[in-house]
Amino acid sequence: MARGVYIHIPFCHQICNYCDFNKFYFKNQPVDEYIEALGKEMALTTEKHPETFRNIETIFLGGGTPTALSPEQLDKLLTSIHTYIPMNSVTEFTSEANPDELSAAKLQVLFDGGVNRLSMGVQSFDQGLLQKIGRTHSNDHVYETIALARKIGFRNISIDLMYGLPGQTMAQWKDSLAKAFTLDLPHFSAYSLIVEPKTIFYNQYAKGKLYLPTEDLEADMYDVLMQQMALHGLQQYEISNFAKPGYHSEHNKIYWDNDEYAGFGAGAHGYLAGIRYSNHGPLKKYMEAVEANELPIVHAHEVSQVEKREEQMFLGLRKTEGVMHSIYEEKFKTPMTAHYDVVIKDLVSKGLLEQDELGVRLTRKGRFVGNEVFQQFLLED
């Protein structure tokens, strides 16, 4: 049973230097035709899995950049969503957004269309760093857009921040955090830069032209992040996410809980009826499949019980509450210790995990080396 829906809008007016998501420059793209194809894909999928979509809790518009669309295109997209996705159980409807693209008209269309949460890509409040990473907005765009969104009625607003950026200093990071806190937002996400293949930064790195902070400095930035969020009353509920009570990202928790969700759009990923799948990335292939009344799936994999157990652990351990013994046993009909007792005891002895009668979770020390901890749960045959 799917809990959430992800919808991919792969268009951008500017490509960020670090982004490895499926995306295309907006100009001269078949945007209107793509929105039509999304509606057809939703119709095909809900026809194939009618029971699966009865109790959808969350919808997430991601990209690319959903706010690259015009108000009219956004309205058309939202109309399709309301047509094909049952909305009776939806409590959280998020759209990603760029601060310099959210006009009053777009915000009003989103709000009227049921979107009740905005996730804005701010990344930094240092203009020089923004230029380095390929962002086009200014701090004024951020302040003005958030004020406008609040005026229209949005209360659940989150911004993304990044650290470990090329040439970034601790002073710059602390300054960005200080400016972010003046916004008094209920949610923040903060990610360290990962240099991914097929990005501008990867090409620079391969040529020895990308100068990144040291691992020690990056770890210190993460330490400062956790300290400052706590000081400002924001609870860390996942490795990279912080919120005031009642403002956790419910959609992202579906991923970390290892529950099922539908993915629509070019390059989108989903997890339905025990199958993890991904769609065609190229627009032409995606749209041709849908126009032929076929699901645009290019890869599909039936997840084995071993993989489900592994995913339950390494995804669930991203949450500060960790993996609950009761939920694990309910899903797999055996205690967690039946599969991972040795691994858990070893990680507890190293101070990277803690375990009690409720479950197992990363320690503060473990959060700094989360990926290394997660890998220990991928040892099953």
The domain locations on the chain are: 4-256, 318-375
Instruction: Say if pTM beats, i.e. exceeds, 0.85.
Output: yes
Q: Dump pLDDT digits (tens) for 232-269.
A: 999 999 999 999 999 999 999 999 999 999 999 999 99
Reported confidence tier of residue 202, pLDDT bands at 50, 70, 90: confident
Asked whether the domain spanning 318-375 has the same topology as the one spanning 4-256, the reply is: no
Average pLDDT over every residue of 54-72: 96
Q: 168-192 pLDDT, tens per residue?
A: 999 999 999 999 999 999 999 999 9
What is the CATH topology of the domain spanning 318-375? Arc Repressor Mutant, subunit A (1.10.10)
> For 90, which DSSP code?
-
Tens digit of pLDDT for each residue in 300-318? 999 999 999 999 999 999 9
Q: How many residues does the chain have?
A: 381
pLDDT at residue 381 in the model:
47
For the domain made up of 4-256, the CATH class stated in words is alpha beta
- 18 neighbors 133 (Cβ within 8 angstroms): yes
Nearest to 148 by CA among 177, 186, 106: 106
DSSP 132: H
pLDDT at 137 exceeding the cut of 60: yes
